[in-house]
Homo-oligomer: A and B are copies of this chain.
Amino acid sequence: MTNQQLFIRKATKLSLENVQAGKGGPFAALIVKDNNIIAAGTNLVTSTNDPTAHAEIGAIREACRTLGTFNLDGCEIYASCEPCPMCLGAIYWARLSRIYIASIMKDAAEAGFDDALIYSEFTKQIGERKIPMTLLPQNEALLAFKEWKEKKDKIKY
């Protein structure tokens, strides 16, 4: 069995155990660097009352704590299911190099999860989305961007 097969199986096994333990939804993820697992996460939304506590978010946060960086370039993520928009966004911000998945969005949708629905919202014009978004323009918001651009000692991310 290849390392890839080992890691994806482990992620999948964790997703099943997470349901059985009653900790949250059927999702788990691992972060791998140089063929070593450096972090793991499972869905803990309902057990921690945190709607952002998805498996990938938990694994990314743990990997960053472990490595002491906000940049996971060179690391790979193994997820039991195709990431939702929130988690895919997090994967991009974390600069992960590669994603492996054991199942797809349609499988999650059939089990009652809204991933596909949320992705479809992203393709809509702002005025046609379920959650209304209103622009209340503020000059000070642009000033914050200006100060950021001019800040000499800023740490880019």
> Given contacts A61-B52, A122-B119, are A141 and B93 in contact (CB under 8 A)?
no
Q: A49-B69, A87-B89, A94-B51 are in contact. Are A137 and B103 (CB under 8 A)?
A: yes
What is the chain B residue whose CB lies nearest that of A80? Answer: B141
Chain B residue numbers with a CB within 8 Å of A20 are 147
Tell me the number of copies of this protein.
2
Q: Which residue from B91, B99, B130, B157 sits with its C-beta under 8 Å from A25?
A: B157
Asked if A141 contacts B103 (CB within 8 A), the reply is yes
Is A102 in contact with B51, judged by CB distance below 8 angstroms?
no
Please state if A133 and B90 are interface contacts (CB–CB under 8 Å). Answer: no
Flag if B118 contacts A4 (CB, 8 Å). no
Q: Is B144 in contact with A16, judged by CB distance below 8 angstroms?
A: yes
10 additional contacts (CB under 8 A) given A22-B153, A51-B64, A51-B90 = A9-B138, A12-B141, A26-B147, A45-B70, A46-B155, A49-B68, A82-B135, A86-B87, A98-B134, A122-B123
A–B pairs, 17, beta carbons within 8 Å: A16-B143, A19-B147, A19-B148, A20-B147, A51-B94, A80-B141, A85-B92, A86-B89, A92-B121, A92-B130, A101-B133, A101-B135, A102-B136, A102-B138, A102-B141, A112-B149, A122-B122
User: Which A residues have a C-beta under 8 Å from some C-beta of B?
Assistant: 4-5, 8-9, 12-13, 15-16, 18-20, 22, 24-27, 45-46, 49-52, 54, 57, 60-61, 64-65, 68-72, 80-82, 84-104, 107-108, 110-112, 114, 118-119, 121-123, 130-138, 140-149, 151, 153-157
